[in-house]
Chains A and B, each alone.
Chain A
Amino acid sequence: MSMASLFDPRTVLLAKHAQHVVLIHFPIALFLAGVTFGLLGTWRKRALLEEVAYYNLLAAAWSTLPALATGLMAWRFQLEGQKLRGLLLLHLILGVASSVTIGLVWWMHRRARLWRRPLPGYRVAVELIGVGLVTLTGHLGGLLSGVNGPG
């Protein structure tokens, strides 16, 4: 088997499904930061924190697209689209649910900005559900990749 080089573009672009494992950290970190800044902004009544939250959530929502795409490509190409079961199926379902929730949270913040209205009262519940989904999906991803495993 040929050795991969960190500085070889083929390694970066074509190395198995390594892209998904790297890219997935962006929406996770941006979403958690966005929710934290948003809640802090609401609690401290600081517009700057809410502004920071908005741009974190915007970046989180967009970064779910390459993360989802590379995950689906890993399924299609590495596993040849075979029927998923168990942890892999759960990871896929939770990943899609997380992405939809991240998009929904960003959309709520965007709508509030555009209409110059306060965020809806149920926003905290949706954001906390999102945090739970992202955490669970990430934990399963860690198990599947071996990071959270016994090794």
Chain B
Amino acid sequence: MRQKKDLLDLAVVTLLALLLSIAGSARADEAANPPGVAVKIDNFTFGPSTLVVARGTTVTWTNGDDIPHTIVATDKSFKSKVLDTDESFSYTFENPGTYPYFCSIHPHMTGEVMVK
């Protein structure tokens, strides 16, 4: 009877340790890969057109239009290829600052990423 209780205690402790380690690794992953932010291109506009993100954030633009678009930083720090419908482009912002960008096919389409 005593042996059975010890085994049960051991199982509970093991389960708790397992849960704690999973939670810990999830937090570690979160720190290593900060959550990404999505920008949708729809109807010739970037949505949202202005983003405020933390350093190290990856921003992903996805073209929801039937027309090709590009993502080009005004200072040329990042530049996508021509994105057809449902294609995406991602860029990770490592340094603080303001990054205005536009679509080089439709220069009136503009947006801005502010990195804190």
Contact = CB atoms under 8 A, between A and B. Distances in A.
Interface in B58-116: 65-68, 70, 74, 81-82, 84, 100, 102, 104-108, 110
- Which of B45, B66, B82, B110 has most chain A Cβ within 10 Å? B82
A9 to B, nearest CB: 18
A17 to B, nearest CB: 8
Main SS class of interface, A:
loop
Contacts of A120: none
A78 B105 contact: yes
Interface stretch (A36-44, A60-68, A79-87, A95-103): A79-87
B43 interface: yes
B102 A1 contact: yes
Contacts of A18: 107
B105 A149 contact: no
Given A1-B74, A1-B102, A79-B104, A151 B43 contact: yes
Interface in B28-68: 43-45, 65-68
A16 B68 contact: no
A150 B82 contact: no
A90 to B, nearest CB: 11
Contact of A85 (B44, B65, B82): B82
Contacts of B105: 78-79, 88, 144
Interface residues of B, number: 20
Contact of A149 (B44, B84, B108): B44
Contact of A88 (B43, B68, B106): B68
Contacts of A88: 68, 82, 105
Given A78-B105, A88-B82, 6 more contacts: A1-B74, A144-B105, A145-B106, A146-B44, A146-B67, A149-B65
Interface of A: 1, 15-16, 18, 78-79, 82, 84-88, 143-146, 149-151
Interface of B: 43-45, 65-68, 70, 74, 81-82, 84, 100, 102, 104-108, 110
30 contacts: A1-B100, A1-B102, A1-B110, A16-B104, A78-B105, A79-B70, A79-B82, A82-B81, A82-B82, A84-B82, A85-B68, A85-B84, A86-B68, A86-B84, A87-B67, A87-B68, A88-B68, A88-B105, A143-B66, A144-B68, A144-B105, A145-B106, A146-B44, A146-B67, A146-B108, A149-B44, A149-B65, A150-B44, A151-B43, A151-B45
